DNA sequence: CGGCGAGGTTACCTGTAGGTGAGTACCCTA
DNA sequence: TAGGGTACTCACCTACAGGTAACCTCGCCG
């Protein structure tokens, strides 16, 4: 069943903050951990790291560590991660086409 | 931030069985409750109903009740629900393009 | 009469995602 | 010497999605 492929995709995208992270990275290119922290006020360190790790292991974002005196770690979308954006756009379009504002009552 | 639109979409699609339901309905058109139950062996009644109700309230599936002697209820994708399929296809394509089989180790 | 199948509802339990708060190693600055 | 910034880790707690199992109504079949 074709659902399995999409389920895989959805699994990778699911997580309270992943989309937010992805959009920030798409928007600003490369961000340090602390920059992400500041860019996304609602998220806790633990969860942010968690979601970043998952995105990394799924190959969506890349993590670059600079072995410096004060640690420095940069995150950015992988090439493949960027390729996801058209799909997200289409999904966005689809939600926009929702008939008669079924905003939740 | 545009993420919010996609988060909405993701919220509607997220749920262990929703994609499976959607694919079955897309594939076979219209299905009765018991047909769905049989088509998706892993799901419990409670959860199946639950996900159907959510899909219905999000306007993705339509529910048709026939007030018959033994109850009969049919589910099918709404027009809008069917319009989601291209987006899912694109997502599917994207997952297919994943570089060097990062199947989870 | 007893049981089945339809499409549910209800009560209860569990696993896990997410949140909170603290601690850590290291160096720099004041 | 105290405190701050960086990128984390660890222990603990809670909420909720999902799973399990029993029950319900109504008619028909045997």
Residues making up chain B, counted from first to last: 105
Q: Which residues of chain A, if any, have pLDDT below 70?
A: 1, 101-105
Its pTM stands at: 0.91
The pLDDT tens digits of the residues spanning A17-28 come to: 999 999 999 999
Nearest nucleotide over every DNA/RNA strand to the A33 CA, judged by C1'? D7
What pLDDT score does B104 carry? 43
Is the Cβ–Cβ distance between A101 and B11 less than 8 Å? no
Distance CA B38, CA B44 (A): 10
The pLDDT score that the predictor gives to residue A30 is: 97
- Pick out the nucleotide with least CA–C1' distance to B48: D18
Q: What is the rounded distance in angstroms from the CA atom of residue B63 to the CA atom of residue B71? A: 13
| Interface membership of B66 toward A (CB under 8 Å) | no
Which nucleotide has its C1' atom closest to residue A65's CA? Answer: D7
- With an 8 Å Cβ cutoff, are A5 and B96 in contact? yes
Q: Can you give the pLDDT at residue B105?
A: 40
> CB-CB: which of A22, A84, A104 is closest to B94?
A84
Q: Is B103 or B76 the better-scoring residue by pLDDT? A: B76
The 3-class secondary structure across chain B, one letter per residue, is: CCHHHHHHHHHHHCCCCHHHHHHHHHHHCEEEHHHHHHHCCCCCHHHHHHHHHHHHHCCCEEEEEECCCCCEEEEEECHHHHHHHHHHHHHHHHHHCCCCCCCCC
d(CA B46, C1' C10) / Å? 10
- A61 Cβ under 8 Å from any chain B Cβ: no
- Chain D bases having any atom below 7 Å from a protein CB: 4-11, 17-22, 26-28
Q: Give the three-state DSSP class for A31.
A: strand
> What pLDDT score does B85 carry?
93
Cβ-contact B74, B53 below 8 angstroms: no
pLDDT at A105: 40
Higher pLDDT: B28 or B69? It is B28
For the segment B32-68, what is each residue's pLDDT rounded down to a tens digit?
999 999 999 999 999 999 999 999 999 999 999 998 8
* HSE-up (13 A, CA, CB side) for residue B37: 11
Distance A69 CA to D1 C1' (A): 21
């Amino acid at each position: 069943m074709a659902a399995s492929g999409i389920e895989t995709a959805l699994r990778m995208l699911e997580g309270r903050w992943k989309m937010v992270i992805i959009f920030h990275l798409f928007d600003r290119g490369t961000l340090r951990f602390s920059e992400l922290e500041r860019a996304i006020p609602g998220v806790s360190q633990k969860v942010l790291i968690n979601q970043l790790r998952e995105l990394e292991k799924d190959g969506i974002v890349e993590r670059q560590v600079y072995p410096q005196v004060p640690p420095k770690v940069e995150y950015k979308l992988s090439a493949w991660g960027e390729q996801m954006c058209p799909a997200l756009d289409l999904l966005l379009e689809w939600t926009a086409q929702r008939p008669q504002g079924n905003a939740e009552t």
